[in-house]
Structure 1
Amino acid sequence: MAEAAAALAEAVNDVCPWSGDPISADALTRYRGAVVGFCNPGCRDKFDAAVTAFDRAIADRG
């Protein structure tokens, strides 16, 4: 429980960027060195997929 609270405290946001709901300890990801929180694992996974696609598109243009 303390680990979850510590992880939530590291997040750069308090609400999910997709839904606007409060973030959850089971829905965190690391992006460019920062912990980003989401309301549920589905929103987190949607973010991870989008970021991966954008990063790949940028790399392909390089």
Structure 2
Amino acid sequence: MALADTPLRIEDAINELCPWSGRPIAADSLTRYKGAVVGFCNPGCRDKFETAVKHFEAALVVRRATRAGQVEE
């Protein structure tokens, strides 16, 4: 089973408190980030994190391509 297919478990989370709210994490609000399980206090905070990560990763790809001369700014 691939890492992405393994169920997320609260006991595997690298944090105990939500990075957005500071509240305790919940079992229904976990995600995987760079191979680690990260917990959030609710699905809304988890989804906000996932959206932010996608946004910044896309921006990073564009910036690296621009610096490599592959794309004009």
What is the TM-score normalised by the length of structure 2? 0.76
Larger RCO: 1 or 2 (CA < 8 Å, sep 6+): 1
Which of 21, 37, 40 matches 1:35? 37
Question: Which structure has the greater CA radius of gyration?
Answer: 2
Gaps of at least 5 residues in structure 2 are 1-7, 65-73
* Shift of residue 52, structure 1, vs aligned partner: 0.5
Residue 18 of structure 1 is matched in structure 2 by: 20
CA–CA distance in structure 2, aligned partners of residues 31 and 55 of structure 1: 12
| Matched letter for residue 59 of structure 2 | A
Question: Which consecutive residues of structure 1, in runs of 5 or more, have no partner in the other structure?
Answer: 1-5
Match in the other structure for 2:69: none
1:51 aligns with 2:31: no
Name the structure with the higher helix share: 1
For the residues of structure 2 that align with 1:10 and 1:59, how far apart are their CA atoms? 30
4+ residue stretches of structure 1 with deviation over 4 A?
A: none
Residues paired across the two proteins, number: 58
SS at match of 2:9: helix
Give the superposed CA RMSD. 1.5
Q: Deviations over 1:22-52 (max 9, x none)?
A: 0000000000000000000000000000010
Q: Secondary structure at the match of 1:47?
A: helix
